[in-house]
Amino acid sequence: MNLHGKRILVTGADGFIGSHLIEELVRRDHDVRAFVCYNSFNSWGWLDQSSDLIKKNLDVFAGDIRDPHGVRTAMQGCDVVIHLAALIAIPYSYHSPDTYIDTNVKGTLNIVQAARDLGVLKVVHTSTSEVYGTARFVPITEEHPLQGQSPYSASKIGADQIAMSFYASFGTPVAIIRPFNTYGPRQSARAVIPTIITQIASGNLKIKLGSVHPTRDFSYVADTVAGFIAVAESDLVLGEVINLGSNFEISIGETVTLIAEIMGSDIEIETDDIRLRPVRSEVERLWSDNRKARDLAGWQPVYAGKDGLRQGLIETVTWFADPVNLACYKTDRYNI
């Protein structure tokens, strides 16, 4: 599908990945509508920090993904929907699981129901590697069993199944993307890489973390954005689930060492019990098989392997270490 001449709606446009995706789509001269979460401050989230050139080329819709009427209104006249709006913090899902069902499951139902009724040409739905739980085999293919090891991951499994059920039942043109541990500028300090960087950048020599033995497949945000666009453009992805990962596994402990080396800091790791997941909820190992993304969408990560991770971390550290950007974060508080 050629996206030029198509109107593209991005939900969750005010968030970490969504804001980067919006900016890249606008840079490519696409017609973009940004769905941001309504608030009384008239804040567009991270899009407020976008350049004036980006903002003046945006059609911004403020609403709530849980509201079917607002979702349908936002989708009118749109040809492609890239659905990222979700609650994603795993610790907060232990605290308030109901909100994850309302936002992630019912929000996705609102999207695919409106897409069916309005004749949308394609819905790209965002899943997460967390739906796989602890890897039973590696690298993880799209056929790996789904395991809801947290209320968050369970809600995303439900959202994925709702989206795919509309493809199977009604022919709604749905494709599902499963990003693996995206990182980069603007990410919440709730996530492990920003929490390491912001603590070091604030002058701390003892870094508070949860478990450091689990492994992750970290993907730089520019690669994830390129994957979204590649899937939106591909004619081979309808009814498919597609991993977006770097096909490289590294432990959190090794990642800490790499970041400290980049930042020239000699640090100690201190276990903070509040950051630990319940034992059976911890996802011990994630490592993506990304061949399907290459075969169906022509996508491959640029920031691949340990060298790619190092380069992505350098770019991320540079952004977070800027005092203006660091000031956006409460580095002395842990936010679930």
DSSP string, 152-204: HHHHHHHHHHHHHHHHHHH---EEEEEE-SEE-TT--TTSHHHHHHHHHHTT-
Residues facing 62 on adjacent strands: 36
pLDDT at 69 > cutoff 90: yes
Q: How far is CA 76 from the centre of its chain?
A: 25
DSSP string, 16-38: HHHHHHHHHHHHTT-EEEEEEE-
Residue 169's region, left for phi above 0, alpha for psi from -120 to 50, else beta, is alpha
Q: What are 82-101's pLDDT values in tens digits?
A: 999 999 999 999 999 999 99
CATH topology of domain 7-187+219-247+287-302: Rossmann fold (3.40.50)
pLDDT of residue 179: 98
Per-domain boundaries in the chain: 7-187+219-247+287-302
pLDDT of residue 333: 84
Q: How far is CA 101 from the centre of its chain?
A: 18
pLDDT of residue 334: 86
Q: Are strands 268-271 and 206-209 parallel, antiparallel or unpaired?
A: parallel
Assign 335 a pLDDT band (cuts: 50, 70, 90).
Answer: confident
Q: How many Å from the N-terminal Cα to the C-terminal Cα in the chain?
A: 39
Q: What are 191-237's pLDDT values in tens digits?
A: 999 999 999 999 999 999 999 999 999 999 999 999 999 999 999 99
Q: What are 26-40's pLDDT values in tens digits?
A: 999 999 999 999 999
Query: How much of the chain, in percent, has pLDDT values that exceed 90?
Result: 98
Q: What is the mean pLDDT of the chain?
A: 97
Mean pLDDT calculated for residue range 227-249: 98
| Backbone dihedral angles phi then psi of residue 262, each to the nearest 5 degrees | -60, -40
pLDDT of residue 332: 82
DSSP string, 40-108: TT---GGGGGS-HHHHHT-EEEEE-TT-HHHHHHHHTT-SEEEE------HHHHHH-HHHHIIIIIIHH
Q: What are 93-147's pLDDT values in tens digits?
A: 999 999 999 999 999 999 999 999 999 999 999 999 999 999 999 999 999 999 9
Give CA–CA dist 224/18, Å, rounded.
Answer: 10
Give CA–CA dist 238/318, Å, rounded.
Answer: 38
DSSP string, 205-272: SEEEES--S-EE--EEHHHHHHHHHHHHH-SS-TT-EEEE--S--EEHHHHHHHHHHHTT---EEEE-
Mean pLDDT calculated for residue range 11-16: 98
Give CA–CA dist 292/294, Å, rounded.
Answer: 5
Which tokens hold the place of 24? 């890249």
pLDDT at 240 > cutoff 90: yes
pLDDT of residue 133: 98
Cβ atoms of 28 and 225 within 8 Å: the answer is: no
pTM, two decimals, is: 0.97
pLDDT of residue 82: 99
